[in-house]
Amino acid sequence: MNRNMEVIRAILEGYKAAVGRKDNQGITVLDKTPIEISVKESFNLTDVEYDYHFWLLEDAGFICRHKNSLFHHLTWLGHEYLDSLT
């Protein structure tokens, strides 16, 4: 499967713009579902294609998944990378 940098950017921008909630450690966390739906519709992606791009972002350290949770947050590295694109 090929990496699509526009999809990568859209996911990161979705996390940057999203409003989350605070977890028990005071970290703002986000439910990936609204972002996932928006990006999948915008790029006509299958579940597998979206999950692949999301996994790439986690693997690169741009998004952090909270243990035993569907909640995530954009990391410092993710913010820095997104800022470098603009």
Do 6 and 55 form a contact (C-beta atoms < 8 A)?
Answer: no
Residue-number span of the structural domain to which 64 is assigned = 5-85
The count of domains in the chain is 1
pLDDT digits (tens, 9 = 90+) for 26-54: 666 666 678 888 999 999 999 999 999 99
Q: What is the pTM of this model?
A: 0.81
Contact indicator for 65, 58 with CB cutoff of 8 Å: yes
Confirm if 57 and 78 have CB atoms less than 8 A apart.
yes
Alpha-carbon torsion 73, 79, 80, 81, what sign?
Answer: positive
pLDDT of residue 32: 67
CATH of the domain at 39: 1.10.10.10
